[in-house]
Structure 1
Amino acid sequence: MSFLRPRFPGERALVSGIAVDAVGSGMYVPFSLVFFAHVTGLPLPLIGLVLTVTGLVGIAAVPLVGIVVDRFGARVTQISLYVVRGVSFACFPLADTLPLFVVVALLTSVGTRAFRPAQDARLAELAEGTDRDRLQALSRSLSNAGLGAGTLIASVVIATAGDFGYTVTAWVNGASFLAAGFLASRTPAAPPRAPAAPRARGGGYRVVAKDRPFLTLVCANLLVALGFSALTSLLPLYATGWLDLPEGLLGSAFLLNTVVCATLGVPVAALARRRFTSRTRAAAAGAALFAVAFLAQAALGTVRPDGVPLLMAGLLGAVLVMTVGEMLYSPSSGALSQFAAPQSLRGRYLATYQLSWSLAYALGPTVFTSLLTVDGRLPWLLVAATAALGALLMLRLERRLPADAVAFVPAPAPGKPASTATA
């Protein structure tokens, strides 16, 4: 289990904060709509509209956090966003009117959307070499495990405490962010900027816009990320509407994805670093598995074998292939974005990269539901094509991105200086 051993000062505190954050979110997120309806008394369509609008505003705030990271540092930004998220979630039980609900939902959305680029920038500050890939895999595994554990805890709380259980889960989630922020404050300050990576003055996002290789990476990730959104927004509608599977069985698909990612995410990423010669090839392999899994879903919808057991076996088999692709793709592509970002503009670069994830999750539900009304297989064919195209773009990037961003270069031994050419 050497891939779990801490490699740099502050890693235990950083990783513990990620785990605490995930458990708190797992207690709250699955029950959020029910909670909002209970506290505000507003109709669900209006609640959905508020969450959609505030979610779009949150996406618009992502570029701003990139500027904040570059100006004040990732550590300060990460801790501040933990506090914003903690306070906003703790205030949700007080949002019993529409104006208050809008304000709190807006703060929550901005804090949630802006947090990921700040966290990725913080990981890049603290870790070098393949330690970044390892942390990407570890954070994703902890998030999956925490979400599963949190959901289970919240189910017990709500079952025993009734309606007050929803308030308890909101407060616990808020407290988890504050606790994670405290743990993040226990991590060391960022190392000084390297002389080889001077601050860019007056460039900002204009520099990012001119970096064609990095923008190609962002586009490739957008194409693949559409497939990530399919698990939550497409699979339930497809399974019940096109395959006619009972709704009660759908949880097994999400459980399979969560458990496999939580338990095997880190060792699979470690295996990928040994078997593949570059991050671009590992990410391309993961995207290719996505395409295979999505084509299998379309084939299952064409054959439609008789009997629920056969349908579920085919569905879960495709989800398993997708999950393996996820474990290959996410750590490599995430670390690739960190290494491809110059140190002086890392916040802006990673915020741009994060926009591809946000846009994919925003577009997915609309695109999928529109295609489902025509034919249940069309959305799967679409995401299979986008994943395959994303894989090809990743391979084309191998010669266009800096060599030390593409290659799996081991992290330097403690006490030895790290290369800063692309960091």
Structure 2
Amino acid sequence: MLLALAVDRTGSGLWAASSVLYLTFVTHLSAQQIGVLLGAAGVAGIAGSPLAGRLAGRFPVRPLLIGCHLVRPATLTLVLLCTGFETLLSVVAVTYLGDRAAKTLEMLFATRAAGERRAAYQALSRSAANAGYGVGAGLAAIGLAVGTTDAYRALILGNALSFVVAAALVWRTGEPGGRTREVARTGGAVAAPGVVTSGRPKGPWRDRGYLRFVLLDIPMNLDDSVLGVGLPLWLVSRTSAPHALVPAFLVINTVLVVVLQLAVSKRAEGPHRAVRAVLLYGVLMFVCCALAAGAAGCGTWAAAAVLLAAAVLVTMAELMRSVSSWELAVLLAPPDERAAYLGVAGMAQSIQKSAGPPLLTGVVMAAGPVGWLVLGTVVAGLAVAQQRSCASRLGLGAAPDPAHAEPVPAQRQ
């Protein structure tokens, strides 16, 4: 399954690095059309997570995941055949819908396969995914260096091929234990302490407590936009740091995630550590935003050093969030409806991907250094709110859980 995940993300890396240039130089769309197309496709992708969760509650995960993998080669082949904006809009929207559904199904598969070791498995899966994404981006760089129409089309075909291979790898993987085993293990009750099923509304859309968690989890995913949009644009527009430093942000992120994700996951395993990790995320994001604000008043090399430090901190925040967010989404969901609940939880990341970049460019960066400080303060405050909300729902009072009362070991550097 980890190999399938790495192959999947290799294709995603190819698409991310080449799609805009393909749409520009091969299909000849304008910058405005590309923005509308990708934005609308991102909005369509939001529906992928709850749709996948609902289906996974009724059908086995493996055939659903194979189906999502096979939908995308079909739509990407249509991308090569279509030239009109309206047609491309619908095709790319379906591609994004399948992409988000596949990501949710992959996490459901991992949750069921790993059981109580889901945090460690999540860490391994993120390391595999980031490694694959880096390979895909590297392969795309070769094609982009050639720069011909055939080279751009070859990259799109390479993306489509990666999903076919991923589907074949998933087909060879056994179906994980699912809904029946989860209910049997917990006797039909919620596994996490303090979550009561009696009187709880049926389904995630009527569960206000869980919807509050998902709503608060949207800004808990802003590290993605800060790294990919905020820091690069801030560097080139408001500091004198060398522009060649921008790729280093992605390199730092990829290397740290691959090397440290498994070790960091130990900080978010179990309810107590997962809840504490939310607070640490808020602290890391606040310091990162403060550094970004301060970089505007620094000289060339000082600004470069400060922004590199901010990239390290936002990556560490991502490491904490990527495990704790899913761990809490699982712990807060009743086992007998876990697939549907996790499908709704998966919307947080999709919504952030659509709303995060405009927030950073249109509000935070427009306000200057003050905008960064306000962003860091708001995210830290929301982290406290989410920590308290999750602790209350999980029944984590003053008395520590003996299984998780030991101090968290220091992170190796």
Whether these two folds match at TM > 0.5 is: yes
Q: Is the 8 A contact 2:330 2:338 kept in 1?
A: yes
Matched, 1:400 2:393: yes
Query: Which segment is superposed worse, 84-93 or 179-188?
Result: 84-93
> Can you list the C-alpha shifts for 1:93-140, whole angstroms capped at 9, x where unaligned?
2122334312321221211222222222111221111x2101211222
Alignment coverage as a number of residue pairs: 386
Q: Amino acid of the residue matched to residue 183 of structure 1?
A: L
How many Å separate the matches in 1 of 2:315 and 2:364? 23
Task: Describe the shift of the 1:382–1:352 C-alpha distance in structure 2 as closer, same or farther (beyond 3 A).
Answer: farther
Q: Is the 8 A contact 2:77 2:157 kept in 1?
A: yes
Task: Describe the shift of the 1:275–1:312 C-alpha distance in structure 2 as closer, same or farther (beyond 3 A).
Answer: farther
Matched, 1:208 2:204: yes
Matched, 1:176 2:162: yes
How many Å separate the matches in 2 of 1:402 and 1:275? 13
Matched, 1:224 2:220: yes
> Could you list the runs of 5+ residues in structure 2 that have no partner in the other structure?
190-198, 405-413
The counterpart of 1:346, out of the listed 335, 338, 346, is 338
1:311 Cα deviation (Å)?
0.9
How many Å separate the matches in 1 of 2:249 and 2:294? 18
- Residues 24-423 of structure 1 aligned to structure 2 (within 5 Å): 24-129=11-116, 131-160=117-146, 162-191=148-177, 193=180, 194-195=183-184, 196-197=187-188, 207-270=203-266, 272=267, 277-301=272-296, 304-306=297-299, 308-372=300-364, 374-396=366-388, 397-401=390-394
How many Å separate the matches in 2 of 1:210 and 1:156? 49
Q: Is the 8 A contact 1:40 1:101 kept in 2?
A: no
Task: Describe the shift of the 1:327–1:409 C-alpha distance in structure 2 as closer, same or farther (beyond 3 A).
Answer: farther
How many Å separate the matches in 1 of 2:239 and 2:74? 43
How many Å separate the matches in 2 of 1:37 and 1:273? 42
1:274 Cα deviation (Å)?
8.1
- CA root-mean-square deviation: 2.7
How many Å separate the matches in 2 of 1:157 and 1:53? 27
Q: Is the 8 A contact 1:218 1:356 kept in 2?
A: yes
Q: Is the 8 A contact 2:70 2:164 kept in 1?
A: yes
1:316 Cα deviation (Å)?
0.4
Task: Describe the shift of the 1:204–1:361 C-alpha distance in structure 2 as closer, same or farther (beyond 3 A).
Answer: farther
Task: Describe the shift of the 1:408–1:46 C-alpha distance in structure 2 as closer, same or farther (beyond 3 A).
Answer: farther
Task: Describe the shift of the 1:99–1:366 C-alpha distance in structure 2 as closer, same or farther (beyond 3 A).
Answer: closer
How many Å separate the matches in 1 of 2:285 and 2:161? 36
> Could you list the runs of 5+ residues in structure 1 that have no partner in the other structure?
1-13, 411-423
How many Å separate the matches in 2 of 1:359 and 1:373? 20
How many Å separate the matches in 2 of 1:408 and 1:286? 24
1:245 Cα deviation (Å)?
3.2
Deviation beyond 6 Å, 4+ runs, structure 1: 406-410
Task: Describe the shift of the 1:408–1:224 C-alpha distance in structure 2 as closer, same or farther (beyond 3 A).
Answer: farther
Identity %: 27
TM-score, normalisation: structure 2: 0.85
> Can you list the C-alpha shifts for 1:225-262, whole angstroms capped at 9, x where unaligned?
12332211222221111114343221112211121112
1:61 Cα deviation (Å)?
4.3
Q: Is the 8 A contact 1:39 1:93 kept in 2?
A: no
How many Å separate the matches in 1 of 2:13 and 2:44? 23
